[in-house]
Amino acid sequence: MDDEAMIDLAWDSGCMNCHDVDRSLRGPAWLDVAERYRDDDEAFERLVETVREGGSGNWGDERMTPNRRVPMEDIRTLVGWLLELESEQEE
């Protein structure tokens, strides 16, 4: 997946208001999410659900707001992309 296109989709979807690829904002950095869930075969569906419906408790006290206005296809695309992210140190 093209990183630039995924970042554009994330901006258009409102994700970048709370997240960044490599640093924590209101929500966790996506590299941290990828690191935590990389070897979890069930993480993809759980994360898609969390993005869609919102959630809390996995990364501190901050609540993730639901993103129901974002098309499910876009959520699935973004979650799939972020789970494959690797920091330059890991490569």
| Domain count of the fold of the chain | 1
Is position 90 within any domain? no
The vertex-80 CA angle with 15 and 10, nearest 5°, equals 20
Residue-wise pLDDT for 19-64, tens only, equals 999 999 999 999 999 999 999 999 999 999 999 999 998 898 889 9
For residue 87, what pLDDT is reported? 72
Predicted local distance difference test score (pLDDT) of residue 88: 60
pTM of this structure: 0.89
Answer whether residue 42 is part of any domain.
yes
User: 10 Å Cβ neighbour count for 62?
Assistant: 15
In a domain, 59, yes or no: yes
47: domain range? 3-83
